[in-house]
Amino acid sequence: MGSTVETAVRPPSYSGPVEWLRRNLVGTWYDTLLTLLSLWFVFVALRGLFAWAFFSANWEPVTGSLKLFALGQYPQEDMWRPGMIVLTVSFLMGVSWRVWGGTVRTFALALAVALGVVAALPVEMRLPLRLWFVANPALVGLGYLVGWSRVVRSRWVLLGWILSFVATIILLNGFKGVSWLPKVDTAMWGGLLLTFLLALVGIVASFPIGVLLALGRRSSLPVVKVFCVLFIELVRGVPLVTILFMGSIILPLFLPDGVRIDRVLRAMMAMTLFAAAYMAENVRGGLQAIPLGQVEAAKAVGLNGLQTMALIVLPQALRAVIPAIVGQFIALFMDTTLAVIIGLVELLGVGKAILNSKPEWLLLDTEVYVFIAALFWVFTYSMSYASRRLEAALGVGER
């Protein structure tokens, strides 16, 4: 940039609500017409929506099955396990907020506020559950305070997240024969818990595979390259449903007799392979964005190929694709609904099951699906909002 940049003064902008109206709504006769038509449309739509939601809709199947929506058929006496997991996440969120700041703050605050609001709702709720809701925002705060300590470093927080992921799986699954942590069959996992778990496992497990595939695709070894390209293009060329069906119908045929893989695990494997192909393309985008000069400089200071990749290229490339990975996580989160087609009881599956559970609820599809859609919307919209801020924070000039 030049040394002196003359800052042009913006011409005085419009002022006052009247001027704003003139500019944005009633500038010309057809603008006015459009505005009136839109106003009428908004009015009719909102009136219809409110009249339906508050007067004619029967929300009984939703309000009566909140536990099912949250956890599926996870045993009542073991509900403390997912509860503990969310508490851990709250605490780690608080710590990350202090240590990493930026966008994490949005996530942490959103989590604390959302659960705090639920805790304050004037509805009938058992005391332990209400206490649990109160405990979450408190733990976010506690984590934030702990984050002040000098001992807590970025890498420790990262390690905490990784450990908590492993602990989550162990805690949910339990062990056979252990009295205080009995095994919970994956057929019992369901609802929002399963939705999140499928998406998280998919994205976490696909990450290393995706990185390897991306490196393989850019490799100078023709055999490796061909295998990687074939895998990536094959998986990206077919819809996710076909891959899920492969996992649920074909995979058992491909395994030796006697080897059985759990149904939820097969769905996770399918999701992982699917996500890995897309992850590979994301990472490849990041690798391509690294200027050749970086590699040459690394060679010049005497790093070998492996070191160049691990210490110079990958860290920069992965940093550049974080927004893309978050975007992929959001897409995968929405794609988990497809698991209902192979008979898993995630959020949408719970909705279907609830509708069939009582004859008088059979025709309440609208209420149930609108609730599920709203739930997805809240999660996805807030995640993509945070992801846009993350993109801006990582953004231009850094790369």
Partner 1 sequence: MTTGRPSLPALFTRRGVPLWRDVQVLQWAAQIVSAIIVIGFLAFFASNVLRAAQVRGLSLGYDFLDLTAGFDLPEGIEYTPADSFGRAFLVGLVNTAKVAMVGIVLATILGTITALARLSSNWLVSKIASVYIETVRNIPLLVQLFFWYFAIFQQLPSVQDSITWPGPMYLSQRGLYTVAPVTTESFGTWMAFVAAGIVLALALRSMLLRHQMQTGRDTHYGLVALVVLIGMPLAGWFLVGEVPLVTDDPVMGEFNFTGGLRLTPEFAALLTGLVIYTGAFTAEVVRAGIQAVSRGQFDAARAVGLSSSQTLRLVVLPQALRVIIPPLISQYLNLTKNSSLAIAIGYADVFFIGKTIINQAGRAVPVFSMVMAVYLCASLTTSVVMNIYNRRIQLVER
Contact set with partner 1 (CB under 8 A): 23-25, 27, 31, 34-35, 38-39, 41-42, 220-224, 227, 233-234, 236-239, 241-242, 245-246, 249-250, 253-257, 334-335, 337-338, 340-341, 348, 351-352, 355, 363, 365-366, 369-370, 372-373, 376-377, 380-381, 384
Least distance between partner 1 and beta carbon 199 (Å):
11
Which C-beta is closer to partner 1: that of 54 or that of 180? 54
Among candidate residues 354, 339, 374, 367, the one with its CA nearest the CA of residue 67: 354
Shortest approach of partner 1 to residue 230 CB, angstroms? 9
31 vs 78, beta carbon nearer partner 1? 31
Tokens at 183, concatenated: 């095994």
- Cα separation of 216 and 225, whole Å? 5
Cβ 99 vs Cβ 143: under 8 Å: no
CB 146 within 8 A of CB 94: yes
- Least distance in Å: CB of 377 to partner 1? 5
Question: Least distance (Å) from partner 1 to the CB of residue 212?
Answer: 11
**Shorter beta-carbon distance to partner 1: residue 159 or 363:** 363
Q: Give the nearer residue to partner 1 in terms of CB position, either 206 or 248.
A: 248
Give the 3-state secondary structure of 82-143.
HHHHHHHHHHHHHHHHHHHCCHHHHHHHHHHHHHHHHHHCCCCCCHHHHHHHHHHHHHHHHH
What token pair was written down for 219? 């490799």
CB of 9 to partner 1, least distance (A): 20
Distance CA 204, CA 235 (A): 18
Nearest approach, Cβ of residue 257 and partner 1 (Å):
8
For partner 1, the closer of residues 164 and 382 by Cβ is: 382
- Radius of gyration (C-alpha) of the chain in whole angstroms: 26
User: Would you say 167 or 224 has its CB closer to partner 1?
Assistant: 224
For helices 80-100 and 154-173, angle between their N-to-C axes, nearest 10 degrees? 170
Kindly state the smallest distance separating residue 246's Cβ from partner 1, in Å.
Answer: 7
- Return the DSSP state at 181: S
Nearer to partner 1, 316 or 380 (CB): 380
Residue of 353, 340, 347, 342 lying closest to 379 (CA atoms): 347
Q: Which is nearer to partner 1, 167 or 340 (CB)?
A: 340
Q: What are phi and psi for residue 64, nearest 5 degrees?
A: -85, -5
Q: Compute the least distance from the CB of residue 10 to partner 1, in Å.
A: 16
